[in-house]
Amino acid sequence: MLAAYFDQPGGPENLYVKEVPKPHPGKGEVLMKVSASALNRADLLQRRGKYPSPKGASDILGLEAAGLVAGFGPGCKGQWKTGDTVMALLSGGGQAEYVTVPEGHLMLIPNDMTFVQAAAIPEAWLTAFQLLHFVGKVQSGQTVLIHAGASGVGTAAVQLTRLAKAIPIVTAGTQEKLQLAAKLGAAAGFNYKEEDFRERALEFTNGSGVDIILDCIGGSYWEKNLNCLSTDGQWIVYGLLGGGEVHGDLLARLLSKRGSLVTSLLRSREKEYKEKLVKAFTERVLPYFSQDRSPHVQPIIDSVYPLHRIVEAHRTMEENKNLGKVIIEMPPSS
């Protein structure tokens, strides 16, 4: 089968399409014929040699995919059949023509959704759902500050916050990105390049601060985050785009607000945790992707690249040009 590959860590130019052996499903696994996958920041980090795949996972990039059930390993429980249209949360391997998936990490694609749309859902939406509900335990009426509000996770988090009857506010680096977030339900948006989001968030909350911060930036935002966090608020870090170093009295400031600093990753979670997450998401959110549901939620797609243009796809995300997800389409047949 064909797969996105790199021999040496480095820039996008190191990527190429390579013929590799088709994987065989193990116990309780399903073989999936991939139609489309999506890029995530983790793919860029892995390509640079900074985020190796977890033990036992495929070294091929790709944390989510959509396609058809094509085979089964021993011990599957019979919940899927050959030809089912599915999307999957993966620990790796999605940017290839075939991938193996634990059967409990699959979700049925809604009837009116394409493979390209479905590929934009698993990693981004399950990450956002996990952060809000499993970690943050968001409550109706709370204010949630979402950094990178026009990213894949950001656009999902805005819509999921609204679905939870809470209030999303976002940061982003362009007016276009802020407009997209507003269209999806953000009650306010702040351009971090032009204004102080700490001051604006405090203004928005009448000085009380935000209840939850979903933070993929990390070190460079620590002081502003603490300044606009409410008493007893939760600061949830799930990425370090702004570095991991903190210079200053973080703990004293956090303690003075009785704040919680929580970190979360999804890729390295155990299989059983991911199964629970997929089940909860399938029951509580997936129905809202159907066109006839109100409120309606939708994956936001920036661009679609065929597999042989994988280098361009990585460059688009690396340069922060995308609004929403960057999709990789597999060749039509194999």
Give the start-end residues of each E strand in the chain: 2-6, 15-19, 29-38, 64-72, 85-89, 98-102, 106-108, 143-146, 167-172, 188-191, 210-215, 229-237, 260-263, 301-306, 325-329
Residues 292, 316 within the same domain: yes
Residue 243 above 80 pLDDT? Answer: no
3-state secondary structure of 102: strand
Q: Tell whether 42 and 145 lie within a shared domain.
A: no
**Block residue for tokens 């704040």:** 259
The mean pLDDT value for 250-256 works out to 89
Share of the chain above pLDDT 90, in %: 77
In a domain, 323, yes or no: yes
User: Does some domain include residue 131?
Assistant: no
- The number of distinct structural domains making up the chain is 2
The pTM of the full predicted model, rounded to 2 decimals, is: 0.92
User: Domain boundary residue among 263, 291, 321?
Assistant: 263
pLDDT band at 19 (very low <50, low <70, confident <90, very high): very high
- The verdict on 298 and 207 lying in the same domain is no
- Of the listed ranges 51-60, 237-246, 273-282, 295-304, the one predicted with least confidence: 237-246
Decide: 230 and 257 in contact? Cβ < 8 Å: yes
pLDDT at 83 over 90: yes
Please give the Cα distance from 93 to 51 (Å, whole number).
14
Distance, in Å, from the CA atom of 39 to the CA atom of 140, rounded to the nearest integer, reads 31
Per-residue pLDDT reduced to its tens digit, 179-202: 999 999 999 999 999 999 999 999
The segment with the largest mean pLDDT, out of 12-16, 56-60, 216-220, is 12-16
**Is pLDDT of 328 > 90?**
yes
Confidence of residue 92 (pLDDT cuts 50, 70, 90): very high
Q: What are phi and psi of 259, to 5 degrees?
A: -80, 160
Q: Which two tokens stand for residue 229?
A: 């966090």
Where among 235, 263, 291 does a domain terminate? 263
We report the CATH number of the domain holding residue 241 as 3.40.50.720
